[in-house]
Structure 1
Amino acid sequence: MVSLGSRFIGQFEPFMFIYVMGTGISSDILYRFPYYGRWLRVCSYIMFALACLIFVSLQVLCVVHLWHYTRRHSFSAYVDEFVRNTRKSVFWGTYPMGLVTIINYLFNLTQIGSISQGDSRRLMIFVYALWWYDIAVSIVIAWGLSFVMWHKYYFPEGLGKGEKGHEKVAAEYLKSTLLLAVIPLVVAASSSSIWVMSGLFGRTFNRNIQLLTMVITVLIWLHAILFVAVLVFIYFWSLYLFKIPPMAQVFTLFLVLGPMGQGAFGILLVSDNVLLYTQQYYPVPGAASGGTLSTAEDVLLLAVPWCFKVLGLIYALALLAVGYFFTIICIIAMLSYRKHKEINAAGKPRRIYNFHTGFWGMTFPMGTMSLGSDEVYIQYNKYVPMRAFRVVSAIYGTTCILWTIFCVVNTVFLYGRRGFRTVRAKRDHRETESKAPSPFTPSTLAPSIVSSLASPDASSASTLHQESIEELC
């Protein structure tokens, strides 16, 4: 009989780190909500604790699952299933993105007045080390998975008669989930831009490290946003050719919002950091007091940073505009399925409002749009009225938080119900054994009974598990 522990470990999938993404970005938004409230800060602590708990649990489960899977099969089989299989491998991108949300909140904790200066500096060092780890993981995922996908065709189920590899890829694999392998780079670049020019980072590290971090951040952001643009173009082509995803996968449309909101948030911070760095280390005499600029060098020191600011604003508004457009498309796509009904693998009818793990695909992207819109308000409202962006940010942020809470509650219920069914099946099996009049061997039992005793409720669990993968792919 398969033990409960083995069955639990076998349920792990990379997409589970999307739970960390949703809860993590919700904690960040609660902490810096466009309209400040002390109670929101308290709620952010609770959400952050939940994100950390989920992350640590999944991290341990991931390692144990790797050991368990390679022990039962082989390491090459693990690579085939979780690296070469694009339907699963792209979800490794949720791991570094979830970690970044925790990194950002840890920096928020360094700004709390009750923390001593020494503890703040040590926490800043920890944040910086985690960021480098996240960068390394993000690069391995983005570059490594891209090479694997470009190297050879790999279809776990094989090709059908007369089916061609490129046709199957175009029809089934060119989806918005491909963005999950690249978005971690955009998110990581935005993370460092939050704290690299903070006073704490400047006191903890020297100027050279600040400049190095800023340059690497810019390189990563530019590389990632161009990579994302290519994938978005391909996905738009796929939408024109194969239309919007089926009802169970319609929430994957929201993944396009992720790089738009996070990219806008990142470039606004990057351009602002260029200005702050120039003002801090290359001050222009008389510029602050409105004096006359004496040399061409003074003019450049004042003009160049503001050129970055203007370009950053233009790029950010362009990305946000695409994000707003696709938000409406996503909502209309969902409404188009309001009367649609599908029969799942268990033979039960499902509607668009029936919860499944694909609902989580909406949380993080909505949160990034909130961050990007709010940053426009924070940086430019002092020059021109930008309060509309604050309102839009609050709408996106509220949607993200409430949707995350909804997903958390339903996910707990979903896994709790699955666990209850498994335990009940195991108990029924024990009762059946205890009531047996004589010790039968498995060979004397009907094949169907042997199957049910060997893995009670395994079929329903695997069915639900497979549905989770399909809803996100």
Structure 2
Amino acid sequence: MANQRSNIGMPLEANNASERVTAAGSELQDTSIHEPLQQEKSSTKICKHNRGWRRIVRNFTPSWFAVCMGTGIVSILLHNLPYNGDWLYYLSVIVFCLNVGLFVSFLIISVLRYTLYPELWWAMIRHPAQSLFLGTFPMALGTIVQMIVFVCVPAWGDRFVQLAWALWWIDVALSLACCFYMPFVIMYIHQATLKTMTAIWLLPIVAPIVASASGGIVASVLSNPQHALWTVIVSYILWGTGVPLAMCVLVIYFQRLTLHALPPREVIVSVFLPIGPLGQGGFAIMQLGKVAMELFPITHTLSLEAAGSSVNAGQLLYVIGWLVATVLWGFGLVWLFFAAASITRSRFPFNMGWWGFTFPLGVFATSTTQMAKELPSLFFKVLGTIFSVAVVLLWIMVAIGTFRRAVTGEIFFAPCLKDLEGKKDQAENNCPEELTV
């Protein structure tokens, strides 16, 4: 009986084993069928977003606003060139219109990018380099505000004064947001080390300095003295938030250069960025002092009449501003030498970082020409002209290189997008069961 029972049980176990093998085989077959289908769907989705206008939108990073910064400073230099003429004025207007067109286009593309692909916003914020380029947006807007005062206000009057003032307040809010939040992101989110640190850290910090310079220019055309006074006071505060913090970063950056040598050749152009806060800070403090000298007696701000002094507080700010600007200009010469010596060490490839040539050198040129006006000095007048012409030539060279690579599409590359796709692939590998859902 026992033998009979075992003989009966054996085929049952064999049948069960056979069924399990068959089921396992069918699962493997189903998996082998689903995997290529899933891979095909994934590749189709990737190809869809990497063709045509979608590819441009997905790979459009905040660093593109550096193009507007460079174009904007060129329009300002052409307008304020010491040896000027009518043809330079019209040329500055053309470049200004080009800059406005680029800024609006880039803004629309950026809104599309983060609307269609909201996950790219956080990927960009967490990227140690691309997130810092958010500071280029308010700086680009600042150049437009300045040119509105230089070109539109003389041509069309008070309504453009109000437009410039309104845009300036927007610029102030964006600049402070970048200056306060992005350094905290470096501390809290990014895993920064001294060796990997670059001068790109300065980008969000320079934004309020540019807004300060724009505020000094806007205040000079405001008809309401109280509005002008508040604009000057806020501009001084902006200068105080940006310049000291930039000095802190410059100390860290100098230590990085001395201990870990020059940056890699792909980002070697960033060595020009330290010139930016020094040049723009000098121009801003001179412009604010000049406006304060005329405005403070009208508004009776910090009046010294009670002390029996014939000197008003605005005149003191004007003299102190010129002195501080001269010190910053001299410090800028040191960094200009470091930058020029660095780029001669080796050849470096063209990329969007080349726009780091234009704006820092451009604001250093504006500081030089402003010193020429205030002294007055023939030496600074000639030197400012040389700097301005050099910046215009650099802008033409970089613009041509950017246009050529934009036509071929090779310049549209977002490092944060590559990191995001890598994280998605890793998540799919860790959770393969989600692929068959």
TM-score range relative to shorter protein: 0.7 to 0.9
Which of the numbers 197, 202, 221 marks the counterpart of 2:220?
197
Q: Does residue 365 in structure 1 map to residue 360 in structure 2?
A: yes
Compare the two structures and name the one with the higher helix fraction. 2
Query: Which residue in 2 is equivalent to 1:78?
Result: 121
1:291 is matched with which residue? Answer: none
Task: Give distance in 2, aligned partners of 1:127 and 1:461.
Answer: 33
Q: Which residue of 2 aligns with 1:125?
A: 162
1:31 equivalent in structure 2: 79
Match for 1:94 among 136, 150, 162?
A: 136
Pairwise CA distance, 1:41? 1.0
* TM-score, normalised by the number of residues in structure 1: 0.74
Please state if 1:148 is matched with 2:148. no
Distance 1:468 1:186, change over 3 A: farther
User: The residue matched to 2:350 in structure 1 has which SS?
Assistant: coil
Tell me if structure 1 keeps the 8 A contact 2:179–2:242.
no
Letter matched to residue 152 of structure 2: T
Give me the whole-angstrom Cα distance separating, in 2, the residues matched to 1:4 and 1:15.
21
Residue type matched to 2:320 in 1? L
Change (3 A) 1:388 1:298: farther
Q: Specify which of 137, 153, 174 is matched with residue 137 of structure 1.
A: 174
Please state if 1:259 is matched with 2:301: no
Q: How do 1:204-243 and structure 2 match up within 5 A?
A: 206-243=224-261
Aligned to 2:401: 410
Larger radius of gyration: 2
Q: Classify the secondary structure of the residue corresponding to 2:344.
A: helix
Stretches of structure 1 that go unaligned for 5 or more consecutive residues are 155-164, 284-294, 338-350, 419-459
Alignment-derived partner of residue 177 in structure 1 = 200
SS at match of 1:215: helix
Matches within 5 A, 1:105-124: 105-112=147-154, 115=155, 119-124=156-161
Deviations along 1:280-303, one digit per CA (max 9) or x if unpaired, are 4459xxxxxxxxxxx963743515
Query: What residue number does 2:21 align with?
Result: none
Shift of 1:307: 2.3
* Distance (whole Å) between structure 2 residues aligned to residue 34 and residue 65 of structure 1: 41
Alignment CA distance shift 1:300-1:217 (3 Å)? farther
- CA contact 1:264–1:372 (8 Å) conserved in 2: yes
Secondary structure of the residue that 1:191 maps to in structure 2?
A: helix
Task: Determine the C-alpha separation between the residues in 1 that align with 2:188 and 2:339.
Answer: 33
- The offset of 1:311, in angstroms, is 1.4
SS at match of 1:336: coil
Q: CA RMSD in A?
A: 2.3
Q: CA deviation at 1:304?
A: 3.3
- CA shift, 1:144, in A, is 1.3
Residue 358 of structure 1 deviates from its aligned partner by: 1.8
Q: Which amino acid aligns with 1:176?
A: A
> Mean alpha-carbon deviation: is it higher for 399-408 or for 304-313?
304-313
| Alignment partners' CA distance in 1, 2:64 and 2:399 | 12
C-alpha separation in 1, matches of 2:217 and 2:310: 23
Contact preservation (8 Å) 1:282, 1:301: no
Deviation at 1:87, TM superposition (A): 1.2
Alignment partner, residue 379 of structure 2 = 388
Asked if structure 1 preserves the Cα contact closer than 8 Å seen for 2:153 and 2:161, the reply is: no
Separation in 2, partners of 1:329, 1:300: 45
Name the structure 2 match of 1:355: 350
Counterpart contact for 1:197–1:276, Cα < 8 Å: no
Matches within 5 A, 1:337-352: 337=346, 351-352=347-348
- Taking the aligned partners of 2:109 and 2:103, their CA distance within structure 1 comes to 10
**1:149 offset after TM fit, Å?**
2.1
Aligned to 2:38: none
Give the 3 Å change call, closer, same or farther, for CA 111–132 of structure 1 in structure 2: closer
- Residue 97 of structure 1 deviates from its aligned partner by 0.5
The residue that corresponds to 2:337 in the other structure is 328
- Residues 375 and 4 of structure 1, relative CA distance in 2, 3 Å threshold: same
Write the distance in 2 (CA, Å) between the matches of 1:377 and 1:207.
28
**Structure 2 counterpart of 1:55:** 103
Is the alpha carbon distance of 1:467 and 1:404 closer, same or farther for their aligned partners in structure 2, counting shifts above 3 Å?
Answer: farther
1-10 or 397-406: which moved more?
1-10
Query: Structure 1 143/336 Cα, relative in aligned 2: closer, same or farther at 3 Å?
Result: same
Separation (CA, whole Å) in 1 of partners of 2:165 and 2:296: 22
The count of aligned residue pairs is 368
| Alignment-mate amino acid for residue 58 of structure 2 | G
2:369 to 368, 374, 382: 374
Deviation of 1:84 after TM superposition, in Å, equals 2.5
1:279: Cα distance to partner? 4.0
Distance 1:461 1:392 in 2: 34
User: Shift of the alpha carbon at 1:224?
Assistant: 1.2
